[in-house]
Chain A
Amino acid sequence: MIEKGAQSARDKPTTRGKVRLREHVMGWFFVGPFGIVFLALLIAPLAYALYLSLFQKKLIGGTSFVFLDNYVKAFTDPSFLSGSWFVIRFSLVSIPLQIIIALAMALILDAVTSLFARFSRLMIFLPYAIPTVIGAVMWGFLYSRSFGPLSDLFSLFGATPPDFLGSSLIFYGLVNIVTWQWAGYYMIILYAALQGIDPALYEAARMDGAGKWQIALRIKIPLIAPALLLILVFSLIGTLQFFNEPQILRSLAAGTIGPDFTPNMYAYQQAFALANFNYGSAISFALGGIVFVGVYAFLFFTRKRRSFL
């Protein structure tokens, strides 16, 4: 960050001390209210989660300090491990898919300028305006065998409809929902970045003999790398804390989605169904820690590119 404007009219030696004091006071005046909320609703809960996670409620003898036992338990708990494994596999499939689709759509919408393209842009974005819960409810209807369209469509060809709520296809059922929900939002961010590129660059490239594909691959995509990084980070943080969609589909896909389907659902079950807040906090804290370290490491290694931070 470049510190500019520190000098200019206001650093005459005589008033300098006063100016500096004013900078401190006013700076904290503006940042302070957020700072209080930040301390009360982010730092305090995190510290509290850490504290809670170090204790265990026993049937006899009440709550006792167990240090890292909850974490040892979590990382040997098949429920937590299978949930984490699901979320990792899910990220590996759904994040690249969402980003590729969003990038392709943004490039198309950047290249095509027509009334229909403008209409499409809004329609593709529309699912983002829908709460994830409502999106999951909607797709739950479409997947449903009793009133969804899939059975109609497939019976036209005499085939049995795929059951996206069954255990073999639920993975793809969820990939589809998440892609539908978020690809449009990522598309808008990439599209805005593409619109910010100076068109003179395309002219210059065209004069050097570059075709449309070369312009897209060698100019457009590298120039929107910071925006790509931004959506990658967003999708990583979002996917690793997967909760809403599987939680909503649970009632429709009974037996397929268990209470330990994702780590977040497992933490929720431990805390609110079993009143085991200590273990629930340990899972939350472990999950939060993994996401934080993962994203931080990722940003650190991509720092050479002008990152968004």
Chain B
Amino acid sequence: MTSARSRAGVRRRPQRHLPLQVLLGFLVVYFLVPFWWVIVNSSKDAPGLFGGGNTLWFADRIDYLGNLQQLFTYDNGIYGRWILNSTLYAFAGGIGATILSVMAGYGFAKYRFAARRFSFALVLGALMVPATALVIPTFVMFSEFGLTNTIWAVILPSLLNPFGVYLMHVYARDAVPDEILDAARADGAGEIRTFLQVAFPLMRPAVVTVLLLSAVASWNNYFLPLAMLSDNRLFPVTVGLGLWQGIASANNAGSTSLWSLIILGALVSVVPLVIAFFSLQRHWRGGLSVGGLR
């Protein structure tokens, strides 16, 4: 954002209020405790986990490798499959939703076509429809087409992202000047070429944001795949770990080893998301402010 630079000019020295930094320290501890617990306890074997040692510190035996091997071989390596499924759902849903959102947002922002206002009002209304209200009727519809318990039952509903359309509309309206589009048209570029070569590069920060948000939404999805899928070989990792957790709590004593798998499984499943957010943070933070500012 441009204002960050001018801001730095006004505030010459860094501000470091000590009391506020101490307060921040406490907040950071609160937000990190669950991660710390998971990191520490995924290094333990079942006796270490249940042996009554310090639950916030490592046991004598640190066995990440052994636990990882167990995690990825348990039940014929079903966990690895869940991670691959989540990846597929996140990519297919994320990329599909982004393409649809970018096109629709640009269309709404730059063309005045029949029923445009009405259609856009519908999209805004859809922002307020809770996604979970759609799960049951979508399930019944899909079961009539024989689509339930297939990957399409998870991918198709993730293509719908009204917030992405709204975000792209706002961004295209402000970041893509009509004059540039007109200039491209005057130079003889067709509408599609103008979109791809002139408008699209200008919209890139918002595109990255929408892509990231829709991919994460698909990766995090739980209710929809829980309802749609019955074959556990199609589960995403969220539903899979939920299944394991249910089994482990149901026969508490008998499945101590499953608990350590769940803990490490939770840790492994968040690594891709954390990497995605951290490596792309420059892009999505700028894009996120769009929705809140106009």
Chain A residues with CB under 8 Å of chain B are: 3-6, 8-10, 22-31, 33-35, 37-38, 41-42, 44-46, 48-49, 52, 105, 108-109, 111-114, 116-117, 119-120, 122-135, 137-142, 146-149, 152, 180, 184, 188-190, 192-193, 195-200, 202-203, 224, 226-227, 230-231, 233, 237, 240-241, 243-244, 247-248, 251-252, 254, 264, 267-268, 271-272, 277, 280-281, 284-285, 287-288, 291-292, 295-296, 308-309
Contact = CB atoms under 8 A, between A and B. Distances in A.
Interface residues of B, number: 117
Given A46-B134, A130-B270, A203-B10, A244 B182 contact: no
A56 to B, nearest CB: 15
Contacts of A252: 245, 249
Nearest to B9: A199
A141 to B, nearest CB: 6
B227 A248 contact: no
Given A131-B269, A284-B137, A288-B130, A230 B241 contact: no
Interface centre among B137, B139, B237, B238 (most CB of A within 10 A): B137
B281 A133 contact: no
Nearest to B17: A112
Nearest to A28: B113
Q: Is the interface of B mostly helix, strand, loop or mixed?
A: helix
Chain B CB within 10 A, most for which of A42, A131, A233: A131
Interface of B: 1, 3-4, 6-7, 10-11, 14-17, 20-21, 23-25, 27-28, 30-35, 37-38, 41, 49-50, 54-56, 99-101, 103-104, 106-108, 111-114, 116, 119, 122-141, 156-157, 159-160, 162, 165, 178-179, 182, 185-186, 191, 195, 216, 219-220, 222-223, 226-227, 237-239, 241-242, 245-246, 248-250, 252, 259, 262-263, 266, 269-270, 273-274, 276-278, 281, 285-286, 288-289, 291-294
Contacts of B291: 189, 230, 308
Contacts of A127: 31, 34
Contact of B191 (A22, A114, A141, A226): A22
Contacts, number: 335
28 contacts: A27-B107, A30-B111, A31-B104, A41-B134, A42-B134, A49-B134, A111-B17, A112-B16, A114-B14, A124-B27, A126-B274, A132-B222, A134-B266, A134-B269, A141-B263, A146-B50, A149-B37, A149-B55, A198-B6, A199-B6, A230-B292, A243-B132, A252-B245, A268-B135, A271-B136, A271-B227, A277-B136, A284-B133
Contacts of A22: 191
B140 to A, nearest CB: 6
A196 B289 contact: yes
B241 A42 contact: no
